[in-house]
Structure 1
């Protein structure tokens, strides 16, 4: 199975936001990634708009020629902007309604989190998520839920109507960095196999990089897509963007 590489542009937006400027351009970097061979573009607009902003999502939706994946907390409410020249955050679902991305990845992150660091607890969230998932699917979005490698929770993802899951790979990446990742990798492989067996597609993301991606991909034959942003941005500084895309695609067997 060919695994799609979706590049997360949050860090490009973070660099731009460190100055009162539109440089570097998020849309230009998206096009550069596409030209270099990326299969998709991912963004995660948070309410404080510390990196990707709502306006970025609208501009990307109007220009992308590859799959657009918008990640975020479906319960994120509108928020006033405290920065001059930056539009108010309209709420996550409103962004999705306006852009209708090919894929919408729902993530249970709070406003205070530095980054996403756990999957949904669907024992608690199923009833709230079910109508949201139904609305997103009616908009034409494929719906993926950010999940830990827990088969009981993954079974609930199928029940609430998700099309895919995105496995939160932070624990695997940490184990790989520590030099003993076999048990973690086996857990993710079992979770992926279970998801595929009940008809869920399998995505993965968080802290995947050029050192740990290849072995992860080989252990998960049902894997369909990875989204990579932080490590990709750092690696692109060293390798150049075009060579970096090629290196990640090589890790995915291309």
Structure 2
């Protein structure tokens, strides 16, 4: 009996010691900065997005072959489990995701250690940044221009560049389409999006989580509101384009549901 009690006391002391050490280690690692990777996996209504090869039929009964799907994400805010918000450095917070250029990964650096449960970010370039002028953002402007994400400086950035060909029941043969979302003097089509992580992203000095986003290109035309490309044809009847007006505002609304987080890897990239 005495031996059994001694064993129990020793076991309890060991557990207390290990718990204390674990708590101390976690407290120590919770200080300092770490990194977080964001990986954007482009899809179409649950299927992998394959440029120029596969076709995708939406609920408008229009069949699309996508040749380009690029977009700008920006202004990242990481939200901890206690609601604390960590605003990523604005000067470094503009990125291009491009399926054709295989730009899919963003590395956020100098992130305060902590447990993160939500991420808020922008789709496009906010007016505050744009109004700082071309010189202030020359490096990103050049990158955007190289990836077909600009008009002229006076008309600004394309937030989304979505292009390809399509067929529709009301049309004969295959037509081209272009959807270019951006802001203009009449409307501000920059949108903020908040996603909830399915499991905690724990940032430590020695632990860099990878957050796996899925972006659904189908939401652009076939989201909460429906846009028919067949109703955006040019006068010659050869192509459809959406670059302004009410349709573009509708698309801007649709894009707020374009992103979800599929999973979070605790220790890095395993997409």
Structure showing the higher helix proportion among its residues: 1
Note whether the superposition's TM-score is higher than 0.5.
no
RCO higher in structure (CA 8 A, sep ≥6): 2
Instruction: Tell me the TM-score normalized by structure 2.
Output: 0.29
Instruction: Tell me the TM-score normalized by structure 1.
Output: 0.30
Higher Rg: 2
